[in-house]
Structure 1
Amino acid sequence: MSISLRYAARTDLGLGSKTRNEDSGYAGPDLLVLADGMGGHAAGDMASSTVVQELIGLDGESYGSDEALRRLAGAVHSANDRLRAEMDDDPELEGMGTTLVAFLRSGNMLALASIGDSRAYLVRDGVFSQITKDHSFVQTLLDEGRITPEEAEHHPQRSLVTRVLTGRENDEPDLSLREAKPGDRLLLCCDGLSDYVAHSTIEQIVTGEGSPAEIADALIAIALKAATRDNVTVIVADVVDGNDGSSTTSPQLVGAAAAHGNGPSGSAAAPRSPAEKAAALSRAVSAPPADEDDQDDAGPLLAEEGPRRFVWLRRGLLALLVVAVLAALGIFGYAASQRQYYIAEHDGKVTIYQGISQNLGPIQLHSVNIVSDIWVADLPSSDRSRVSSRSMTASSRQAAIGIVENLRADMVTCQTQVADGGSC
């Protein structure tokens, strides 16, 4: 039996302090994609929209099941490479990243790619189950048996992710292939839903009666009722008989990807085909500045300047040699610096940085690795000073996480003392 999808994508800014939506979602006849960008000032919205842009070209194509999984994996790697290229072009974007969960349909099979803590759920025969595994600190604690699933739902560090797309070579997604059956229901969501709404409540809504649009609207509404402080995005898709005419055919683009896709003026009509969407997003993200100088304005070299060309050539070669030596030294130094970590402040929160806090001329030797949910202002004064001075260093990422947990314990102790009438 042939299958098709009936789907709906929804997003909301949430009730937190974010002034822009850093989530991106796309739902099409053969492709479902959700990306939750991160990076604060480092353009999480750009990260999520860039990744969606790279993937939506897969929609509307016909692949065998094994080829679909290869194509999906290849598109994720291309998206990750593009993140790196954009950060290289604009240093202000350094540190941006995004989660990703994506389904690509091939016949009655679904290729799945997942990285980060955005989730995919499946309802089959009334049974609701999570089919992706979070790449998060809390999931590590669960795997090691150090906390229970109930404790994980309310763990204060549940927002700490351990693997996302950041433009680095080792950003590898989980890949799988599964069969889809008529009657199945898929839910893709970001942590703006799963971190604020109980698993049982999500299950009750998703397993209830209603169209994908009604279920998606209900999930957004319950997240807002739970006072989600994050952007919240969901995609709901029902697997239906391909011959009953109930499938959805118009692609839906939401969040940051839709904002970038509308171009700078925001007045352009939304493209209707996946190819048009990819082209529109590409123009919005990749277009050169309008005031870029024309590189063809230089006039011809005057004949009397010929002898001086050789002097400048020798000087240029010498300068090139010096630059090459400095570059080699810089590469080795940079590699060594990236094996270190330190604790500092980012957007008012305790943050783990990878690298060292100094810069080498224009070369930045550090980047945001993990932004915790601990506000620096809530720390005891001694800990605030240590965070501000960037004096807390670690030789590994795990050791840095341990320092953050110690800061959390100090904060809780301080708050308890103040509540008891003392000070800290």
Structure 2
Amino acid sequence: MSTTVKSAAVSHVGKIRANNQDSGYAGRQLFVVADGMGGHAGGDIASAIAVKRIMEADRPFTSAHDAEFALQSALVAANSLIAETVFDHPELTGMGTTVTAIVRVGNQLALAHIGDSRLYLYRSGVLEQVTVDHTFVQRLVDSGRITAEEAAVHPRRSVLMRVLGDVEASPEIDTAVVDIEPGDRWMLCSDGLSSYVTDEKIAAVLSSVPSPRDAAERLVRESLDQGAPDNVTVVIADIDKTGDSAANPPVLVGSAALPLEFAADPSRKALRLPTLLLHPLKALPEDSHFEPESDEFLQELIREDRRRATRRRVSWLVAVGLVIALIVTGLVVGYRWTQSRYYVGANGNTVAIFKGVQQSIGPISLSDVYEETSIRIDDLSTFEQQRVLDTISAPNLSSARSIISRLEDDSP
């Protein structure tokens, strides 16, 4: 069955940012999302440069593997263009961008990916994240050191290990070729969506909104409704079962849709990439940042994570210790209170004064015989016999002895 691609691209500046550092492209067979970084005067330029260079790969390919190689080459070329731009405009030092891109070739997709923008596949009611985030916390998840739930609130979840920028001449880029099926819905997004909208909600929108444009706009609204401060960009590509040739025209969104402007600011201090700000976190006021993938830095992060884990364990142990101490204190206080009480009851065939209360905790009795008497239960009246067998409570020892005196008067 012949198929076409129905697509849409939507981008929004978000609720906090002054400018949109995201760029997106939905073409004939090529689809790209880039999330720029480097502050007000850098992130938008980096993502726009990358997307406009990668757009050149929106052309026919003889095979998906050729498209895969072309995408990888386009990302490397975009990386060089960003470095050249920084050389010509030093005030932009440190700008960079994530990129996730796919090209449809027949019944396959070629993809290239770097950073923490994402590619999702919605197929037969199931949503799958296809790409892997190039972040520090993802490294910890992959190594089994933390869970995905812990990664979502980890203080270092904003640290990117790989991006396009003016740091590495040959950045490591993930590439792959995957099969597609009629009815597939492929979605690319910046972390302005994935950091604020759950996978369950994304799947619900993709399953219930048939139009790619409407679905993309709905997902952007969902992100904004969650208070997302970051830019958010969504590109959706549907593998249309009908084979309708009326595919959507190519569209650019975000900073790539605007002219590039290099307004140098003499007062702007050139910053190195490891200290620059990226997209905001969903729970913390501080911004994300990029750190190059070096063993020294990675080991320092791991050591920091170990220290954090140790502090968490110590805090947990202290909390458990306090709870245990409170429980023990409560038990001691409660036991001492029980031992301030008395009652009169039967000790075999005679009457005795017991110290404690008429209760037990499992096999542990909370009372014992305090004073024995010579009063036989058989010598008491039927009424008093029943009272003794049921036990007679006394608030103190003096009251218990008064009860004994009355029973002695009742017995012959």
TM-score range relative to shorter protein: 0.5 to 0.7
Q: 2: distance between equivalents of 1:378 and 1:233? A: 21
CA 1:245–1:365: 2 relative to 1, 3 Å: closer
2:48 aligned residue = 49
Q: What secondary structure is seen at the aligned counterpart in 2 of 1:187? A: strand
CA 1:171–1:50: 2 relative to 1, 3 Å: same
Q: Structure 1: which amino acid aligns with 2:176?
A: S
Q: Is the 8 A contact 1:24 1:257 kept in 2?
A: yes
Q: Structure 2: which amino acid aligns with 1:176?
A: A
Q: Structure 2: which amino acid aligns with 1:187?
A: M
Write out aligned runs for 1:133-212 (5 A). Answer: 133-167=132-166, 168-212=168-212
CA 1:44–1:402: 2 relative to 1, 3 Å: same
Which of 296, 312, 319 does residue 396 from structure 1 map onto? 296
Instruction: Deviation per CA, 1:14-57: give whole Å up to 9, x if none.
Output: 112x2110000000111000000011145000000000010111
TM-score by length of 1: 0.64
Q: 2: distance between equivalents of 1:407 and 1:92? A: 37
Q: Is the 8 A contact 1:24 1:36 kept in 2?
A: yes
Q: 2: distance between equivalents of 1:15 and 1:175? A: 33
Q: Indicate yes or no: 2:32 matched with 1:33.
A: yes
Q: Structure 2: which amino acid aligns with 1:49?
A: A
Q: Is the 8 A contact 1:3 1:181 kept in 2?
A: no
2:395 aligned residue = none
Q: Structure 1: which amino acid aligns with 2:218?
A: A
Q: Is the 8 A contact 1:153 1:198 kept in 2?
A: no
Q: Is the 8 A contact 2:22 2:36 kept in 1?
A: yes
Q: Is the 8 A contact 1:161 1:370 kept in 2?
A: no
Q: Structure 1: which amino acid aligns with 2:137?
A: V
* Residue 164 of structure 1, CA deviation: 0.7
* Residue 371 of structure 1, CA deviation: 4.5
Q: 1: distance between equivalents of 2:32 and 2:194? A: 17
Q: Is the 8 A contact 1:42 1:95 kept in 2?
A: no
Q: What secondary structure is seen at the aligned counterpart in 1 of 2:20? A: coil
Q: Is the 8 A contact 2:4 2:244 kept in 1?
A: no
Q: Indicate yes or no: 2:14 matched with 1:5.
A: no
2:218 aligned residue = 218
CA 1:227–1:378: 2 relative to 1, 3 Å: closer
Q: Structure 2: which amino acid aligns with 1:194?
A: S
Q: Is the 8 A contact 2:103 2:110 kept in 1?
A: yes
* Residue 207 of structure 1, CA deviation: 2.4
Write out aligned runs for 1:272-421 (5 A). Answer: 284=260, 366-368=272-274, 371=277, 396-401=296-301
Instruction: Deviation per CA, 1:301-341: give whole Å up to 9, x if none.
Output: xxxxxxxxxxxxxxxxxxxxxxxxxxxxxxxxxxxxxxxxx
* Residue 177 of structure 1, CA deviation: 0.5
1:239 aligned residue = 239
Q: Structure 2: which amino acid aligns with 1:7?
A: S
The structure with more radius of gyration = 2
* Residue 58 of structure 1, CA deviation: 1.6
CA 1:75–1:209: 2 relative to 1, 3 Å: same
Structure 1 gap ranges (5+): 261-283, 290-346, 348-361, 380-393, 413-424
Q: Is the 8 A contact 1:121 1:188 kept in 2?
A: yes
Q: Is the 8 A contact 1:48 1:97 kept in 2?
A: yes
Two-structure CA RMSD over aligned residues (Å)? 3.3
* Residue 199 of structure 1, CA deviation: 2.0
Q: 2: distance between equivalents of 1:143 and 1:124? A: 25
Q: Is the 8 A contact 1:30 1:105 kept in 2?
A: yes
Q: Is the 8 A contact 1:4 1:247 kept in 2?
A: yes
Q: Is the 8 A contact 2:108 2:178 kept in 1?
A: yes
Q: Is the 8 A contact 1:102 1:112 kept in 2?
A: yes
Q: 2: distance between equivalents of 1:32 and 1:400? A: 37
* Residue 149 of structure 1, CA deviation: 1.8
Q: 1: distance between equivalents of 2:277 and 2:298? A: 14
CA 1:24–1:407: 2 relative to 1, 3 Å: farther
Q: What secondary structure is seen at the aligned counterpart in 1 of 2:151? A: helix
* Residue 366 of structure 1, CA deviation: 4.7
Q: What secondary structure is seen at the aligned counterpart in 2 of 1:396? A: helix
Q: Structure 2: which amino acid aligns with 1:368?
A: P
Q: 2: distance between equivalents of 1:5 and 1:96? A: 33
2:122 aligned residue = 123
1:230 aligned residue = 230
Q: Is the 8 A contact 1:191 1:232 kept in 2?
A: yes
* Residue 367 of structure 1, CA deviation: 4.1
Q: What secondary structure is seen at the aligned counterpart in 2 of 1:202? A: helix
Q: Structure 1: which amino acid aligns with 2:182?
A: P
Q: Is the 8 A contact 1:9 1:27 kept in 2?
A: yes
Q: 1: distance between equivalents of 2:208 and 2:66? A: 35
Structure 2 gap ranges (5+): 287-293, 313-412
TM-score by length of 2: 0.65
Q: 1: distance between equivalents of 2:170 and 2:220? A: 33
Instruction: Deviation per CA, 1:174-221: give whole Å up to 9, x if none.
Output: 000011111000110111111111222122212223211111011001
Q: Structure 1: which amino acid aligns with 2:171?
A: D
CA 1:24–1:365: 2 relative to 1, 3 Å: closer
1:326 aligned residue = none
2:77 aligned residue = 78
* Residue 403 of structure 1, CA deviation: 8.2
* Residue 141 of structure 1, CA deviation: 1.2
Percent sequence identity over matched residues? 41
1:91 aligned residue = 90
